[in-house]
Chains A and B, each alone.
Chain A
């Protein structure tokens, strides 16, 4: 595996020729492995209740955010709008509140989603293996869980209270997901929290461990950038566009088969450029507010959408760049074990 020093050297490197060369190589690997296609997905935020207190987060339990949770009927209304636009891969998200969005609530949402989508992923609080198994049987194909930062001390500093304070429980989440049979796992770091090179190394190490021990899973990674909340004076690390580009390139060169996601948190220009050297999946026409598709508003600044283009506009850009937009990339089958 690539060393910590090689990663930090590359992140510090200022040679445009080297960067261009490696970007081209990453692009060739991506095309050979995934083809000239880009998968599309959209998120639906079900609930923003949260029991954790994370210094950097606009959802944190101590902030004054207006809390909302969709009823099953509201969930269905959101889904109808998203499915109506053509999206077939859905990511269902909640804040990390087991109390307000219990597994039974997630199960209901997954069952409704089954009527509208061909692939269902969850980004919720970490669960136990038997709970993942129940969700898998109900039709969940993927789980997204970010370690945020792999630096234990920093993690402890930033996560003040709540279940999320338990570093190891979170670290072992991908393993519990894999053991349940769920086929796709998305991992990542919230870039900006800690020293990027170190976090990237530890993410690669984690990914390597997962690939070796759970080879049947399809892995992907994301590199969301921290958006600093007003009034938060914590000492964060600035993440530039170049840093993000280098994260994508390093991932592709070291993990040819791992998917790389890029959400609408990044602006249109960066997203369009990144298609050429490693990105395999993008969200599109996202609304990141609870109930936002029905209400047509975006309100939570933490998950602010920077790429506001419609699905049709994004589809047009993809085609112009020679990529086939892929809406359906999984057909749900009965997941009941034999």
Chain B
């Protein structure tokens, strides 16, 4: 029997712990198909792409109503811009879940933890459910937690790189030390990498590039969903680390028990 309770963030129950980014899909209907076929529960959409008055397609119409919409502040270069974009999201789209992205480096797209923490403080106080995208750093994590973040979203590696858990050790520290759910975001290129993040105790994984660029995004989304679930079950099952299972004797301390 599986005993796999859903992830809970701000009172919402999240069954599928694979979160989907939307910015890189070649077609919105394809994206919608991925969301519904794999029963995705959380998607993130950049506010900069939302246009309710669009002559062409409005991206929000492609997100099913029962999905949790988390608007991100892509394009914000400092806390103030992130705050302004978040308020715009609430005003224009009625959205309260905000993934804070503050990036002031267009070359590496690395998040600015200090500005992000500042935005968390202001937006959490205004009642937003705030999920900061961050470089995994213990001090910043503590600050964001104290500022009212609902979850932390550390990057696995550089956005779009597909390099997996380059920041593994530091994410492990956050998992261990933070009481917030840890959602590994960015750089996850393969389902196996997503499973690895879940096996080490992450609460969820977010990806976009790996799925959107796949020849068959539907299958890729399903593969990620299943890998994330498998990783979660492995974590819950508390499987022993390979190599630690068998220990033939006690060469170091056995002498204490010798007659």
A residues near B (Cβ < 8 Å) are 31-37, 84-86, 88, 118, 183, 211, 215-219, 257, 315, 319, 322-331, 333-334, 338
Q: Does B77 contact A (CB under 8 A)?
A: yes
Interface centre among B25, B26, B104, B109 (most CB of A within 10 A): B26
CA A329 to CA B104, docked complex, whole Å: 17
Are A338 and B55 in touch, CB under 8 angstroms?
Answer: no
In angstroms, how far is the closest chain B Cβ from the Cβ of A141?
9
CA A35 to CA B211, docked complex, whole Å: 10
Which residues of chain B come closer than 8 Å to A88, judged between CB atoms? 51, 54
Residue of A at shortest CB range from B31?
A324
Which 10 A-B pairs rank lowest in CB-CB distance, beginning with the nearest? Answer: A35-B24, A36-B26, A86-B55, A328-B51, A216-B104, A333-B84, A215-B105, A322-B26, A32-B160, A216-B77
Interface centre among A33, A35, A319, A329 (most CB of B within 10 A): A35
**Interface of B: prevailing SS:** loop
In angstroms, how far is the closest chain A Cβ from the Cβ of B78?
8
Are B88 and A331 in touch, CB under 8 angstroms?
Answer: yes
Q: Does B219 contact A (CB under 8 A)?
A: no
CA A319 to CA B56, docked complex, whole Å: 13
| A35-B77 CB under 8 A given contacts A257-B106, A330-B48, A331-B85 | no
Interface centre among A32, A118, A218, A324 (most CB of B within 10 A): A324
Are A338 and B106 in touch, CB under 8 angstroms?
Answer: no
Number of interface residues, chain B, beta carbon within 8 A? 34
Are B55 and A33 in touch, CB under 8 angstroms?
Answer: no
CA A9 to CA B137, docked complex, whole Å: 44
| A331-B212 CB under 8 A given contacts A257-B109, A322-B26, A324-B26 | no
Q: Known A-B contacts: A35-B213, A86-B54. Give 4 more (CB < 8 A).
A: A215-B104, A257-B107, A331-B85, A331-B92
CA A315 to CA B161, docked complex, whole Å: 28
Are B27 and A322 in touch, CB under 8 angstroms?
Answer: yes
In angstroms, how far is the closest chain B Cβ from the Cβ of A120?
14
Interface centre among A215, A323, A334 (most CB of B within 10 A): A215
Are A218 and B26 in touch, CB under 8 angstroms?
Answer: no
In angstroms, how far is the closest chain A Cβ from the Cβ of B107?
5
CA A319 to CA B57, docked complex, whole Å: 12
Residue of A at shortest CB range from B105?
A215
Residue of A at shortest CB range from B89?
A331
Q: Can you name 30 A-B pairs with beta carbons within 8 Å?
A: A31-B213, A32-B160, A32-B162, A32-B209, A37-B23, A37-B25, A85-B55, A86-B54, A86-B56, A88-B51, A88-B54, A183-B77, A211-B106, A211-B107, A215-B104, A215-B107, A257-B106, A315-B56, A319-B27, A326-B49, A327-B54, A327-B56, A328-B48, A329-B49, A331-B85, A331-B88, A333-B81, A333-B84, A333-B85, A338-B80
Which residues of chain B come closer than 8 Å to A216, judged between CB atoms? 77, 104-106
CA A329 to CA B28, docked complex, whole Å: 15
Which residues of chain A come closer than 8 Å to B212, judged between CB atoms? 35-36
CA A5 to CA B25, docked complex, whole Å: 38
CA A216 to CA B213, docked complex, whole Å: 26
Q: Does B50 contact A (CB under 8 A)?
A: yes
CA A86 to CA B49, docked complex, whole Å: 14
Q: Does B20 contact A (CB under 8 A)?
A: no
Are A37 and B81 in touch, CB under 8 angstroms?
Answer: no
Residue of B at shortest CB range from A215?
B105
Which residues of chain A come closer than 8 Å to B204, judged between CB atoms? none
